[in-house]
Amino acid sequence: MSKIILITGGQRSGKSSYAQRLALKHSSSPIYMATSRTWDEEHRQRIIRHKADRGSEWTNIEEEKQLSKHLVTGRTILIDCVTLWLTNFFYDNDSNIELSLKEAQQEFANFVEQDATFIFVTNEIGLGGMPENTIQRKFTDLQGWMNQYIANKANEVKFMVSGIPMKVK
């Protein structure tokens, strides 16, 4: 039976570092599944820095969309992050919220069918004001609906505030 843990919060709230510590508590050799595309040079440097921050105990997998093609049964997997993963669906589907949500939910469902411990990191981007343009509003809706979907399936949900995990579920 799989276990799903969702770690959510704002930018720089400590989500990823908390999730990494949690993964290492569950396993001495966890998997780090990075979902980001390399969008520009600054982003490429950020990815390099993040990889260097993780120790040799991690198995690193870079996967933009098709999480379920990786066999992870019996392992602890940290997926960082849902926001970047959704961005890939949203971009590839020309900002079509319904199609992106459907594809992401199906991929999530296929992935977590495996018997493993899944730790998903996501952003709560809807806590601020109303986004000023249509694309941002659409993506905020997509992110919120996917977060709700994962939280509903999760065994545990933690909300990060200034580096402190707060139990939600």
Query: 149 is in which domain, residue-wise?
Result: 3-167
pLDDT, tens digit, 9 for 90 and up, residues 70-114: 999 999 999 999 999 999 999 999 999 999 999 999 999 999 999
Q: What is the pLDDT of residue 84?
A: 95
Mind listing the pLDDT tens digit for each residue in 37-53? 777 888 778 777 777 77
In this structure, of 21-35, 110-124, 129-143, the range with the lowest mean pLDDT score is 129-143
Asked if 50 is an active-site residue, the reply is yes
The one catalytic residue among 26, 43, 50, 70: 50
Query: Which tokens belong to 38?
Result: 């390399």
Mean pLDDT score across all residues of the chain: 92
- 31: CATH: 3.40.50.300
The predicted model scores a pTM of: 0.93
Q: How far is CA 84 from CA 6, 55, 110, 114, 146, in A?
A: 15, 22, 19, 22, 12
Q: Which one is predicted more confidently, 46 or 154?
A: 154
Mean pLDDT of 53-70: 91
